[in-house]
Amino acid sequence: MNQEIVDQHGVPGGDEGRVRRPPRRRATRIQMRGLALGVASLLVAGCLGVPVREGRGRSVGPGVEEVNVEAVSFGFVPNQIRVRAGREVRLRVRNTSFVKHNFTLLSPDGKVVKEVDIEGGGAAVVSFRAPSAGRYTIYCDRFLHRKMGMEGFIEVR
Ligand SMILES: [Cu+2]
């Protein structure tokens, strides 16, 4: 009630904050709508997280390749990893965010090879043997994380 009177009559010396409130609300609503549309289109495109970041296994011993992977909200860095076939691949995954993430590795035929939860600030070593060429999938299985960008692949060749 009090606010309406101030708005209608523009009482001098009235509460400035109250007088200006309606336009500010409208602006916020428009911004929110823009944000929602942006998020929706990114979800459709499936690329709300980090951009493409390429990585390569580096040799750390006979037949062993290692890759450092960072789990962030929401993505893996790198998220397109290349390793050589016939090696043991060691992924050192560090979760540098404050929330729990997960690292799931699927073989080229879609079977779960490894699956591990990593607490915020934690780390895990995910090792697997990649006998032949093919594309392995990596993603985080936490609710909606994959949709928000936590996915990528490991190309064995
Ligand atoms: Cu996650």
Distance from Cα 138 to the centre of ligand 1, integer Å = 11
State yes or no: pLDDT of 24 exceeds 70: no
Tokens read off for 132: 């032949």
Question: What is the per-residue pLDDT across 129-152, written as a single tens digit (0 to 9) for each?
Answer: 988 899 999 999 999 999 999 999
Give CA separation, 19 vs 3, 6, 25, 29, in Å.
8, 7, 12, 18
What does the pLDDT read at residue 31?
Answer: 60
Q: Locate the DSSP E strands across the chain.
A: 54-56, 58-61, 64-72, 75-77, 80-83, 87-95, 101-106, 112-118, 123-130, 134-139, 151-156
Distance from Cα 133 to the centre of ligand 1, integer Å = 27
Q: Are 128 and 66 in contact (CB under 8 A)?
A: no
Question: What is the per-residue pLDDT across 26-73, written as a single tens digit (0 to 9) for each?
Answer: 555 656 555 555 554 455 444 556 799 999 999 999 999 999 999 999
Distance from Cα 64 to the centre of ligand 1, integer Å = 27
Tell me which of 1.10.10.970, 3.40.50.720, 3.20.20.70, 2.60.40.420 is the CATH number of domain 54-156: 2.60.40.420
State yes or no: pLDDT of 18 exceeds 80: no
Pairing status of strand 54-56 against strand 58-61? unpaired
pTM (global) more than 0.75: no
Distance from Cα 87 to the centre of ligand 1, integer Å = 27
